[in-house]
Structures are given as structure tokens and as C-alpha cells.
Amino acid sequence: MSHAIVFSTSEKYVSYKSTLRSKNKTRETANLWLKRFWLELQPFYPQGNAQWLHYGLAAEIICKPHESFTASEALKTDSFLALRARASADNIDVNIVELQERRKKLLLADMDSTIITSESLDHLAQMAGVGGAVEAITQRSIAGEIDFSEALIDRVKLLAGKPVGFLDALLDQVVLNNGAVNLVQTMRANGSKCYLVSGGFDFLLGHVSNLCGFHGYHGNHMLIEENVITGKVLRPILDRKAKAEYLIDYCTRLGIDISATASIGDGANDLEMLSHSGMGVAFQGQGLLLDTIPLQLSFTDLLGLLYLQGYFAEEFVGT
């Protein structure tokens, strides 16, 4: 079966010399950009020349690895791990995807540290003066050391008695990760449905959903009484199991196979959603995801999920 090996990075890792060369329009070929990886590419039997997906930032080469190779088992393949290690040394992500059904019809995305730059509950806690205690619990939850629901309950308790005005202040300070709008708008323009599914809170999810253009969102609800945060969360809590359930539910609603789905997230709470999805991507992922999820974007912004689907920069919407 034919595959595409995709190499990608972000502008912050592109050298001044390379940027200057681009401005002068002396464009190097994708083959030249990938020349340093030719030795590690050979076990995958590259076919023909590499091509740019986004000049200077992303290129792909079609390959036909041995019939025993499957992209889902890439993390168990020494040759692929060697290629990834070589690319990582140059701040470049390398991923391998099947060409069949490459462009997905459904996107489910985590919010915190994925679509937005921060962990929103940590950010809220910092403004409320309890940042250290909340962040310590967050890190253990992201790493999979403690149950997400338990961690969420414990963190929100620390906010009890704080004025609701902190929630409005958080809306004003949220920052989208690079490529968030392009990702959603480009997939929408090509007929995909896009949803935020997060353990975060709906007051912020609605705001972020509108900024990016998601079709909808699902999250948790923080209870407020008389303009004060009660420290309680409405049950049931949306956790890692619920994220995977939403993925399956939307496949049923839309009449699509789960292989036609993409999902992206950064922490242990996203593991089941990413594992079930046709194209599950660990975005700046934590250790558990890096050990489990083959598709990884550690140096590339959210445009990386478009590159994995074979979109060219000229096709991006929302720039």
C-alpha cells in the first residue's frame, strides 16, 4: 500500500538564512530540503521526488514500504523510529500516513494546550491567586498519574468563593495556537464537520468555538451562584471516555466510518479519542501519548494536521 511520509516544522524553527532565501525567491526543491534524510528513508522505498506542501515548512514523499508495514505500528518499527529521531534533531516532525481516505470528514479537537496555548483552568487559577496548587494537579492529570475527573473536581474546589468576573477576564486573555483557524476553516471548506470536545468549561469553549468556526462544542459546566464560583462541577463530567464516545456518536450521526475521522489533543485525557480515530494526532504530546500515538506534532503548529491530510498551503482557508 502507498503511504506518504510527511516532514513538517513551524516558522519559529526556520533559520534566518532559509527565510531570506525564500524572500529572494531562490526556491530550493523539496528533494534538497529532505536530502539529509535520504539514508533513513530508504527502508520505506521512496517513489519519485518529494513535493512541497508548504514551501520551507512541509514536504512529503510517496513511498511503498514492505507489505508487512502498517502506519499504526510505526512506533514499533526501528526504521521509522530512526527516521523520526534523525528529523527531530533538526526540529522537524516526521509522520507516515496511508494515502487511502487521507482527507477526513470529521474533526474532534481538544481545547486546552491544543486549540489554545494554555491550560485554561490553570490560567484562571493564576488570576484567582491559587495557581500553584491547581497547576500541580493539572500536570499529574495530563501525565495520566491521576484520574481526570478526580483532578477536575479537586482543582475547581480551590476556586470556591472567587468572583465570576475572573471568567470574563479569562475570555479576554485566551490565545489561539498558530494554525487553529486555518485548520478548522480549511476542513470546513472541504466538507468536514468540526467539533471541540474538551474537559474544559463551556463558557470558554463557546468563545473559542466561535473564534475558530467549529460547528459545535462539548465540555464541562462550572456551577455559579450569585456571581460567585461555587467550587462544584455539574455531573456527569466529560472525561477521556466521553471524548471517545462523542467520536463514535458523531460517526453514527453523520453516517461515516471511524477511519474518516481526525482528532487532536495533548494529554492523557485525549488518549482514547486519539486511539480510536482514523487520524489521531498527539499535539505537543505528553509522555503517555508519545509512547502510544504514532502521529505526533512536536515542532509543527496546527497546520500540521492539514499537511498530514495532504492539503497544500494554497488550499488553506482563514489566512
Residue 109 lies in a domain: no
- Helix 148-157, helix 120-128: angle, nearest 10: 20
Q: Which domain holds residue 24?
A: 1-100
CATH code for position 15: 3.30.70
Written as tens digits, the pLDDT of the chain (319 aa) is: 899 999 999 999 986 445 444 554 457 899 999 999 999 999 999 998 999 999 999 999 999 999 899 999 999 999 999 999 999 999 999 999 999 999 999 999 999 999 999 999 999 999 999 999 999 998 888 888 888 899 999 999 999 999 999 999 999 999 999 999 999 999 999 999 999 999 999 999 999 999 999 999 999 999 999 999 999 999 999 998 999 999 999 999 999 999 999 999 999 999 999 999 999 999 999 888 999 999 999 999 999 999 999 999 999 999 7
**Catalytic-role residue among 93, 112, 270, 301:** 112
Residue 233 lies in a domain: no
Sheet holding 216-220, edge to edge: 216-220, 193-201, 106-109, 261-265, 279-283, 295-297
Judge contact between 75 and 291, C-beta under 8 A: yes
Judge contact between 262 and 61, C-beta under 8 A: no
Residue 176 lies in a domain: no
Residue 72 lies in a domain: yes
Active site annotation includes 291: no
Count structural domains, the chain. Answer: 1
**Catalytic-role residue among 93, 110, 122, 266:** 110
Residue 89 lies in a domain: yes
Nearest-Å Rg of the Cα atoms of the chain is 20
Active site annotation includes 122: no
pLDDT of residue 26: 58
Residue 95 lies in a domain: yes
CB atoms within 10 A of CB 100: 9
Length of the chain: 319
Residue 80 lies in a domain: yes
| Run of H or E including 94 | strand 93-98
CB atoms within 10 A of CB 318: 15
Residue 42 lies in a domain: yes
| Run of H or E including 234 | none
pLDDT of residue 41: 96
CB atoms within 10 A of CB 74: 22
